[in-house]
Amino acid sequence: MIPGELQALFRRVRFIAFDFDGVFTDNMVYIFEDGREAVRCTRADGIGLRKLERLGIEPYIISSEPNDVVAHRSRKLKVQFIHGCKDKRAALEELLQARGLTPDQAAFVGNDINDLPALQYVGFPIVVQDAHPDVIPVARYRTQRPGGHGAVREICDLFEVVLTKVED
């Protein structure tokens, strides 16, 4: 059961930005002998992201990591993205302004201290279960699942539950 105050936050959101590492991934990186990197993600996230789109919520990925793995995964998920982003809050401001949205109509999902300015900017800050302790107090919702292990899908499913719920 989701408390009414929290349901109101879900209902306002029209745009949700996700960090990548530690949210879509388990924050681990595999490094091959030739220097290439690989990360692990769950395929269930793609189905969740489609749910958001059907609900009229635009998903977006904003990552400080300049690695092309972010670009490749984002394209595979058919989600617009920015990677190598130095200032996530400024990027969010521009994205919302371009869409005619206010911070209260946005959510951000993060996991670490570099996400703090973006989390503080939006109306609905969300962190994953295994987020860094410094960002947890800022969150209005903390997932039950850790990053890279279904946290993104959990969030998408919750939006679906709240937004399709028939009022009593």
pLDDT of residue 145 exceeding 80 = yes
Measured CA to CA, the distance from residue 118 to residue 89 in angstroms comes to 4
* Ordered domains of the chain (ranges, CATH): 4-164 (3.40.50.1000)
**CB contact at 8 A, 59 and 18:** yes
Strands 30-31 and 37-38: antiparallel
Residue 33 makes CB contacts below 8 A (sequence gap 6+) with: none
| Per-residue three-class SS string for 62-96 | EECCCCHHHHHHHHHHCCEEEECCCCHHHHHHHHH
**pLDDT at position 168 over 70:** no
Name the nearest CA neighbour of 125 among 4, 23, 21. 23
pLDDT of residue 2: 81
The per-residue pLDDT for range 52-104, each reduced to its tens digit, is 999 999 999 999 988 889 999 999 999 999 999 999 999 999 999 999 999 99
Label residue 40 by pLDDT band (50, 70, 90). Answer: very high
C-beta separation of 147 from 22 below 8 A? yes
- DSSP at 102: -
The answer to whether residue 5 scores a pLDDT higher than 90 is no
Whether the Cβ atoms of residue 128 and residue 19 lie closer than 8 Å to each other: no
pLDDT reported for residue 67: 83
Percent pLDDT > 70 in the chain is 98
Q: Is the dihedral of CA 64, 116, 60, 141 positive or negative?
A: positive
In which residue are the tokens 């991934």 written?
A: 25
Confidence of residue 4 (pLDDT cuts 50, 70, 90): confident
DSSP, collapsed to helix, strand or coil, labels residue 156 as helix
User: In degrees rounded to 5, what are phi and psi of residue 107?
Assistant: -120, 155
Mean pLDDT (the chain, rounded) = 95
Q: Are 33 and 51 in contact (CB under 8 A)?
A: no
